[in-house]
């Protein structure tokens, strides 16, 4: 089933998009240059497509699958991968906590945390640049 989800994500990826399995049952989709509203629309379309798709099990039976999606956007939620992944992960867990089969954008609380993380990242870049 995870392979089928990965294939559908790869098939629907556009020119400025990268997708793949991130670990366990999690996937990562990077939408280059996308605004948060565009990312929300794209994620909602992906969520709905997965819910409609009949996934085939090895025994031939088909089942319905739902997904939850967390979204973070640069630079609002961070500028480094780790910060953006953390913000998206927080949004994903909020989606799961509010009933699953949902799409959530990183919250303002996450954005505040990300602002702090960006300051740390800037200090780290400055320190690294001097060494």
What does the mean pLDDT of the chain come to?
81
pLDDT tens string 32-55: 888 899 999 988 988 888 888 888
Could you list the residue range(s) of the whole structural domain that residue 65 is in? 2-129
3-state secondary structure of 24: coil
CATH number where 15 lies: 3.30.70.270
pLDDT tens string 94-121: 999 998 899 999 986 555 555 566 566 6
Interval 12-36 mean pLDDT: 78
In the block, tokens 């702090």 appear at: 116
Query: Of 17, 25, 116, 121, which residue is the catalytic one?
Result: 25
Res 60: pLDDT? 93
Reply yes or no on whether 25 is catalytic.
yes
Q: How many angstroms separate the CA atoms of 10 and 106, rounded?
A: 24
With a pLDDT cut of 90, the percent of the chain lying above it is 21
Region of residue 87 (phi > 0: left; psi between -120 and 50: alpha; otherwise: beta): alpha
Let me know: does 106 contact 90? Beta carbons within 8 Å. yes
Domains identified in the chain, total number: 1
């Amino acid at each position: 089933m995870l392979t089928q989800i990965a294939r559908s994500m790869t098939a629907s990826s556009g020119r400025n998009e990268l997708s793949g399995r991130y670990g366990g049952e999690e996937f990562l989709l990077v939408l280059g240059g996308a605004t948060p509203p565009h990312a929300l629309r794209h994620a909602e379309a992906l969520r709905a497509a997965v819910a409609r798709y009949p996934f085939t099990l090895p025994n031939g039976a088909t089942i319905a699958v739902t997904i939850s999606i967390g979204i973070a956007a640069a630079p609002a939620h961070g500028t480094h991968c780790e910060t953006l992944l953390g913000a998206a992960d927080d949004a994903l867990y909020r989606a799961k906590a509010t009933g699953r089969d949902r799409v959530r954008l990183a919250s303002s609380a996450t954005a505040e945390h990300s602002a702090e993380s960006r300051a740390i990242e800037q200090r780290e870049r400055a320190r690294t640049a001097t060494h």
